[in-house]
Structure 1
């Protein structure tokens, strides 16, 4: 076959990025984009409708792309359709490979070279070397059985696409295994298999959009270009599988999931004699003395088995025909040994202490095992050293917070963004200081405490919604850390639930607090970014944080995903469409336009109160998404728009720059 490409002089085809995306997406379909800061690896997610008969929305998104390109962001799109996440993909649009000749792992005598930290060392090729590999690859690609539909040239290689016939059946579950086989096929022809990126196999994979720049090295940018386009033929997954020597039926059958279960401990360990539990007096221990105390407890007595120290017996952790286990007492410390390498407690011959035994028995982590043993032996635990350290941290934090106003020159952004929330944060620190218990009620060494947002709202005479926004602000700045329920000690959770019931309060949440000596600097840096994105406490939302710091960061702050009704989403989509249409027609939009507009959805008119609520909710997202500005009209704006008003208008930010 012939690609009709001049291998040495690869010209960019005259195709727009809109036309490029339309190769993969249907008319009036939502497209999902990823903007990735090439040096810092910060990701931002955006979506918009890519309509073929209305160029209103996408040009605004193009302006956003250009803005972020200036900040070092690369522009990507999700090739398949449905969403940003794997489980949201509903349709496969293409199979593809990503050839990258820019770097490969360094090898010496057949072994990977690693640095002092155990990380793989890479060797980077120069432009001339990369160019040679590019030419050789394209010549090889000419011999492939299926003509590609699209070839996109990147700085260090190519993205090669085979578009699917969307009218033919396809299997979502086959996508990844077929990708793997396709990648393996092209890797087999390369000197280094790594040239065919093995990671380009997920359903939600993003690849670069043409006509935007590769900016990993801002001093040496490269404009991504389409060098080959053929839409005369579309393929099925069967076609692609057959071209690389596989039967699609085999791949379909191989996608059935095989559940891998953890090693099951022999039944005896879970059926130890109930009457073996001894009644202990309650020892009072400092935390530092706890672990040695536990390891000195008689394992034979604890397990309730008929055995003697240093005498072999049949292991209770596996089917043991010959006595292969022994409990040894060395200087007062007990350990369980099993000589069978197949046994779960063999542990490379190192043996298992009482904590290890509980971890196996209860299928839990070390911290949980220790807590269970504390309860079993009725230990009263004192932790004065740790408690004093935590108490001192809270006291220091409260002092630093009270002095923050005097350090405006050092932390100008933090002072500006937190000035109205200062009393609320001080209340939270006081709650945390009063609720230090012991090290078991901690995570990563930090004391966990809890409170009801409703309680805090009552104390400060504010709405719960307002309190929630401030708490999310503190967490965003890194001055407060939300802790998920999974990380919280079960007893502490039970305690919190009981207190919540007793006080008729809902919404108990768990937190830790960092050291403000270390946290203020990064908090000021985050505050600076938020101010650039027109921060206001009213506009504090998950979407706002996604715009500032990316979706992954926002998910860490908003641990609970609030479900939105389909009707609300449809109303906001209709409002967004109206706003864009009005800006296109008149150059601006005002709140009155939506209030006076008879918005109809599912043959029902939307009430003014609902329109007002949804407009306020969607406004911050639209401002961020399309780089708009909501500002009170002045003489300059009125003159440019040919209007006469003193109302707030929503306009393109570029209008003020003209």
Structure 2
């Protein structure tokens, strides 16, 4: 087997195993979102294949085993080759929780999860002077390895500072995160992304009404993205490349599969001492 074939086989396994790990059933429809990593946010007025984003679906029982053969369907039932779209710059996301129709009501909680972005530092200040001082501190700190920093004024008269760290610093923070939260994330599925981790706790018998409160508690516990709270949230799928920098694509991959038995929501709350 060639090196390329071996890598494709591993990517195919990661893709399918990720879906199974979330507890997706063979008779359920899977929903995907493709978003171009570099295209302008304004959608192209031509065909859907040139749009910045598209929604796709396919019943799990009809999903091809090899990643190179996976095709999904648009709402108009047009076939879209998933791997080819990723090569053309489209990031591949999947709706984590279960609903049969892409605009229908949710019917089940498959997992609770967090998005840990170690590349981006976001802070809010009351005055422009405070934000300016913080910007100068970050730029003068060699440990942070800041590559860019911006300050924007919001409509609420606040100042939001956004700083982006370098690759070496992100790698350091990844190691630090895993060490710091070793016991907390034991048993969780960990997906490594270019800028951090997506951490999943597969759930059985979860109540839809508790989802948002638990997501918010997880974000507070891990200081992760506070926006990852809605049932409709999509997440990057392992086995596909992150292509925001076309010259340096990053393969999203599962770092740890976690334990075999899913958690209950009550068990997860106890394990992590979550305050809802």
In 1, distance between residues paired with 2:133 and 2:221?
Answer: 25
Q: Deviations over 1:628-651 (max 9, x none)?
A: xxxxxxxxxxxxxxxxxxxxxxxx
- Residue of 175, 183, 187 corresponding to 2:211: 175
**Structure 2 residue 102 is matched with structure 1 residue 84:** yes
The correspondence of residues 286-435 of structure 1 with structure 2, limited to 5 A, is: none
Q: Secondary structure at the match of 1:47?
A: strand
User: Where does residue 27 of structure 1 map in the other structure?
Assistant: 26
Which one has the largest radius of gyration? 1
User: Where does residue 141 of structure 2 map in the other structure?
Assistant: none
User: Where does residue 70 of structure 1 map in the other structure?
Assistant: 87
The correspondence of residues 201-220 of structure 1 with structure 2, limited to 5 A, is: 201-220=229-248
Q: Deviations over 1:587-634 (max 9, x none)?
A: xxxxxxxxxxxxxxxxxxxxxxxxxxxxxxxxxxxxxxxxxxxxxxxx
Q: Does the CA-based 8 Å contact 1:101-1:133 persist in structure 2?
A: yes
Q: 1:53 to 1:79 in 2, by over 3 A?
A: closer
Q: CA deviation at 1:80?
A: 0.5
Q: CA deviation at 1:58?
A: 9.7
User: Where does residue 134 of structure 1 map in the other structure?
Assistant: 174
The correspondence of residues 72-221 of structure 1 with structure 2, limited to 5 A, is: 72-82=89-99, 83-85=101-103, 88-105=105-122, 107-109=131-133, 114-115=151-152, 120-144=160-184, 147-165=186-204, 168=205, 170-187=206-223, 196-221=224-249
Q: 1:29 to 1:117 in 2, by over 3 A?
A: closer
Q: Does the CA-based 8 Å contact 1:98-1:158 persist in structure 2?
A: yes
Q: 1:246 to 1:105 in 2, by over 3 A?
A: closer
**Structure 2 residue 76 is matched with structure 1 residue 37:** no
Q: 1:104 to 1:213 in 2, by over 3 A?
A: same
Q: Which moved more, 1:111-120 or 1:34-43?
A: 111-120
Q: CA deviation at 1:22?
A: 1.8
In 1, distance between residues paired with 2:70 and 2:261?
Answer: 32
Q: CA deviation at 1:149?
A: 3.1
In 1, distance between residues paired with 2:11 and 2:243?
Answer: 21
How many pairs are equivalent? 224
The correspondence of residues 212-611 of structure 1 with structure 2, limited to 5 A, is: 212-246=240-274
In 2, distance between residues paired with 1:56 and 1:104?
Answer: 38
Q: CA deviation at 1:54?
A: 7.3
Q: 1:44 to 1:13 in 2, by over 3 A?
A: closer
Q: 1:57 to 1:228 in 2, by over 3 A?
A: closer
Relative to its length, the structure with more strand (as a share) is 2
Q: 1:131 to 1:21 in 2, by over 3 A?
A: same
Q: CA deviation at 1:108?
A: 4.0
Q: Does the CA-based 8 Å contact 1:31-1:47 persist in structure 2?
A: yes
Which structure 1 segments of 5+ residues have no match? 1-11, 188-195, 252-658
Q: CA deviation at 1:215?
A: 1.0
Q: Does the CA-based 8 Å contact 2:16-2:65 persist in structure 1?
A: no
TM-score (norm 2): 0.72
In 1, distance between residues paired with 2:164 and 2:186?
Answer: 31
Q: Does the CA-based 8 Å contact 1:35-1:76 persist in structure 2?
A: yes
In 2, distance between residues paired with 1:181 and 1:123?
Answer: 25
Relative to its length, the structure with more helix (as a share) is 1
Q: CA deviation at 1:121?
A: 4.3
- Residue of 31, 54, 57 corresponding to 1:47: 57
Q: Deviations over 1:253-283 (max 9, x none)?
A: xxxxxxxxxxxxxxxxxxxxxxxxxxxxxxx
In 2, distance between residues paired with 1:220 and 1:212?
Answer: 13
In 2, distance between residues paired with 1:68 and 1:14?
Answer: 16
- Tell me: higher relative CO, structure 1 or 2? Use CA pairs within 8 A at least 6 residues apart: 2
Which structure 2 segments of 5+ residues have no match? 1-9, 42-51, 73-79, 124-130, 136-148
Q: Does the CA-based 8 Å contact 1:96-1:160 persist in structure 2?
A: yes
The correspondence of residues 617-636 of structure 1 with structure 2, limited to 5 A, is: none
In 2, distance between residues paired with 1:171 and 1:93?
Answer: 10
User: Where does residue 534 of structure 1 map in the other structure?
Assistant: none
Q: 1:58 to 1:32 in 2, by over 3 A?
A: farther
Q: 1:57 to 1:225 in 2, by over 3 A?
A: closer
In 2, distance between residues paired with 1:35 and 1:113?
Answer: 28
Q: Deviations over 1:543-562 (max 9, x none)?
A: xxxxxxxxxxxxxxxxxxxx
TM-score (norm 1): 0.32
Q: Does the CA-based 8 Å contact 1:150-1:230 persist in structure 2?
A: yes
Q: Deviations over 1:491-537 (max 9, x none)?
A: xxxxxxxxxxxxxxxxxxxxxxxxxxxxxxxxxxxxxxxxxxxxxxx
Q: CA deviation at 1:43?
A: 1.7
